[in-house]
Amino acid sequence: MTTVAAAPPIALPIAPTPSAQVARRRRAFAWNLGAMLAIWSTSLFVVWLWVLGGGIDALLALDASSLNALGRLTGLVASNLLLYQVLLMARVPLFEKGFGRDALIRVHRLVGFWSLWAMLAHIVLLVAGYAAEAGVNPFVQLWEFVWDYPGMLLATVGTVLVIGVAVTSIRAARRRMRYESWHLLHLYAYLGVGIALPHQLWTGADFISSPAATAYWWTLWGLAAASVLVFRIGMPLARSLRHRITVTGIERDGDRGVTVRMGGRRLDRLGAEAGQFFVWRFLDGPGWSRGHPFSLSADPARGELVISARVAGDGTARLAGMKPGTRALIEGPYGRMTGAARDSRRLLMIGAGAGVAPLVSLLEGEDYAPGTAILITRDRSSADGLRQAAIADLVRFRGIRHVPLDGPRAAAGSAWLPRTHSAWGGPDVFRHLVDDLSDVDAYVCGPDAWMDAVCADLRAAGVPAPRIHTEAFSI
Ligand SMILES: Cc1cc2nc3c(=O)[nH]c(=O)nc-3n(C[C@H](O)[C@H](O)[C@H](O)COP(=O)(O)OP(=O)(O)OC[C@H]3O[C@@H](n4cnc5c(N)ncnc54)[C@H](O)[C@@H]3O)c2cc1C
């Protein structure tokens, strides 16, 4: 039963006023609009460059020059998308705030797929077109391209690198590799894109056809390179140095988890919000350079940074062995699963395993009346549960209702429920707990497949899709 104590020992959050909430939402909309406009307007600009270069006339000639015109168009599109691939993953605030991490990863996959096919089409079409014009065998033409045209040898190496990265990112291949190996290989895509570009500027008519075209490509290439340097290396280093984040305590958390507390200088200026995550590098010895994303498991407004991890492999296991005083390098804060996404006065939080971490920080940071927030947690056994003490405080002092659904997975029925609830449909569980599901914000965090099942049941139970907010703990 939920009890609400009279005098809470923990600081209650200051409720955002409705106008502050509207302003937060307007800002989020403006970032999203800006990000969409940047991508679409530049893509149209690139097609316009091709039209200006006589692309349509060449296409309608219906001879070898049509193949060349199409080859040039696919080359332009591929170059634009490849540079956007770099920009999308460079932690540029416009895209981080405009899309959020989950959507960014989806866009990155989609853009990666189309940029690869556009690049392959570009090669095949130009080889076929030039071979037809010169009346030579396409393989002879390909050989000539690689050896005789300026920058083409570099472009060939770049293409091979990009294809290698694409192949190892196919799900089946990706599952067979250690995350670290895959990530290291993935970084070769930067090199691939970087060395493929000179051939476009040396030989591509559309790239040097006008001062506007040349300025555009150099600017985009320069922006992509500078963004990686500034947002992935420079800014995280500068923030880490400025805030001097240091481990202050390490606690065992449940049977398979650990909670790390950190302090630092002027943490209020980090701009971190409950529900967000950082990529952390702890300077505790060899292997420190491998960053791991962990969400804040306590509201950062309380003056410290807290993360809670379920031990999965080397990176999480070493957290338990750290000593107070260990320095941390940070990248972030990232993530849009914050209070800004919220529309209603009531909250339904559903977390599996370590997914409970950002939900606890949100429940600590958000404003709600006692009895209007529900936290459903899902673990294999109750002894595994993370942040149990913080959850007990939330029940006691903020009046949340905690519904632990522990136990092995159900073999039938809703895939996210435990075996003990296999007779229940997932939507019925939600209807049983919340009387009006059209007026609740649902926050969901856990493994991908589990989240898909929860979200499907939330929608089936009547929660409007825009009120379901998620953060996946996988990439
Ligand atoms: C946005 C986000 C927030 C997260 N928040 C938390 C949290 O609050 N608490 C928690 O316990 N876990 C969290 N995770 C998961 C956590 O990052 C991984 O469990 C951890 O990195 C595993 O590292 P490992 O070396 O211990 O295990 P490994 O055995 O190396 O990997 C275990 C699994 O984690 C994935 N993984 C490994 N390294 C990374 C990495 N650098 N980035 C992304 N995935 C990786 C691998 O794909 C693998 O499937 C979060 C993940 C993401 C993407």
Tell me the one-letter amino acid at 469: H
State which amino acid sits at residue 173: A
Does residue 16 surpass a pLDDT of 70?
no
Closest ligand 1 atom to 178 CA? 30
Ligand 1 and 313: CB distance under 6 A: yes
Residue 322: which of 304, 331, 309 has the closest Cα?
Answer: 309
Under a CB-based contact definition with an 8 Å cutoff, are residues 51 and 115 in contact?
Answer: no
Whether the CB of 309 sits within 6 Å of ligand 1: yes
Whether ligand 1 lies within 6 angstroms of the CB of 310 is answered as yes
Amino acid at 23: A
Residue type, 41: S
- Residue-level pLDDT at 226: 94
CB of 235 closer than 6 angstroms to any ligand 1 atom: no
Distance 376 CA to ligand 1 centre (A): 22
**CA nearest ligand 1 atom 39, residue:** 292
pLDDT at 25 over 80: no
* CA-atom Rg of the chain in angstroms: 26
Q: Is the CB of 205 under 6 A from ligand 1?
A: no
The number of the ligand 1 atom at minimal distance from the alpha carbon of 296 is: 8
Phi first, then psi: give them for residue 445, nearest 5 degrees: -150, 130
In the beta sheet, which residues pair with residue 254?
none
Predicted confidence (pLDDT) at residue 10 exceeds the cutoff of 50 = no
Residue 263: strand pairing partners: 246
* pLDDT tens digits for range 209-260: 788 888 888 898 899 999 999 999 999 999 999 999 999 999 999 999 999 9
Tell which residue, 369, 370, 375, has the closest CA to residue 387. Answer: 375
Distance, CA of 113 to CA of 167 (rounded, Å): 10
* CA of 77 relative to ligand 1 center, distance in Å: 34
What pLDDT score was predicted for residue 403?
96
Determine the distance separating the centroid of ligand 1 and the alpha carbon of 474, expressed in angstroms: 7
22 Cβ below 6 A of ligand 1: no
Give residue 331 CA to ligand 1 midpoint distance, Å: 15
- Closest C-alpha to 113, from 81, 144, 142: 81
SS3 labels along the chain: CCCCCCCCCCCCCCCCCHHHHHHHHHHHHHHHHHHHHHHHHHHHHHHHHHHHCCHHHHHHCCCHHHHHHHHHHHHHHHHHHHHHHHHHCCCCHHHHHHHCHHHHHHHHHHHHHHHHHHHHHHHHHHHHHHHHHHCCCHHHHHHHHHHHCCCHHHHHHHHHHHHHHHHHCCHHHHHCCCHHHHHHHHCHHHHHHHHHHHHHHHHCHHHHCCHHHHHHHHHHHHHHHHHHHHHHHHHHHHHHHHHCCEEEEEEECCCCEEEEEEECCCHHHHCCCCCCEEEEEECCCCCCCCCEEEEECCCHHHCCEEEEEECCCHHHHHHHCCCCCCEEEEEEEECCCCHHHCCCCCEEEEEEHHHHHHHHHHHHHCCCCCCCEEEEEECCCHHHCCCHHHHHHHHHHHCCEEEECCCCECCCCCCCCEHHHCCCCHHHHHHHHCCCHHHCEEEEEECHHHHHHHHHHHHHHCCCHHHEEEEECCC
**What is the number of the ligand 1 atom nearest to the C-alpha of 310?**
11
Q: pLDDT grade, residue 474 (50/70/90)?
A: confident
Model-level pTM?
Answer: 0.83
Q: Find the mean pLDDT for residues 282-295.
A: 92
pLDDT mean across residues, the chain? 88
Q: At what angle do helices 152-168 and 179-186 cross, to 10 degrees?
A: 160
Give the model confidence (pLDDT) of 177-205 as tens digits.
877 788 888 888 888 888 887 787 777 66
Residue 427: predicted pLDDT: 93
Between residues 202 and 357, the one the model is more confident about: 357
Q: Quote the percentage of the chain above a pLDDT of 90.
A: 54
334 forms beta bridges with 277
Cα 428 to middle of ligand 1, angstroms:
32
Report how far residue 265's alpha carbon sits from residue 243's, in angstroms, rounded to the nearest whole number.
5
179 Cβ partners below 8 Å, 6+ apart?
none
Q: What is the pLDDT of residue 205?
A: 67
Across 191-195, 296-300, 408-412, the highest mean pLDDT is recorded for: 296-300
Query: How confident is the model at residue 21, as a pLDDT?
Result: 66
Residue 436 exposed, middle or buried by CB count within 10 Å (0-12, 13-18, 19+): exposed
> Residue 346 above 90 pLDDT?
yes
Separation of alpha carbons 37 and 420, rounded Å: 49
- The per-residue b/e assignment along 365-382, b for 16 or more CB within 10 angstroms, e otherwise, is bbbbeeebbbbbbbbbee
Q: What is the reported pLDDT for 36?
A: 83
Residue nearest to atom 7 of ligand 1 (CA): 294
Name the residue at shortest CA distance from atom 33 of ligand 1: 312
Q: How far is the CA of 241 from the centre of ligand 1 (A)?
A: 24
Ligand 1 atom showing the smallest separation from residue 317 Cα: 26
Other beta carbons within 10 angstroms of residue 432's beta carbon come to: 11
Say which residues have a Cβ less than 8 Å from residue 215's Cβ, sequence separation at least 6.
none
Quote the tokens at residue 457.
């049941």
Q: How far apart are CA 173 and CA 237, in angstroms?
A: 33
Percent of the chain at pLDDT exceeding 70: 95
Cβ atoms of 270 and 236 closer than 8 Å: no
pLDDT higher than 60, residue 93: yes
Q: Crossing angle of helices 64-88/18-52, nearest 10°?
A: 150
Q: How many CB atoms neighbour CB 130 within 10 A?
A: 20
CB 338 within 8 A of CB 428: no
Query: 314: Cβ below 6 Å to ligand 1?
Result: yes
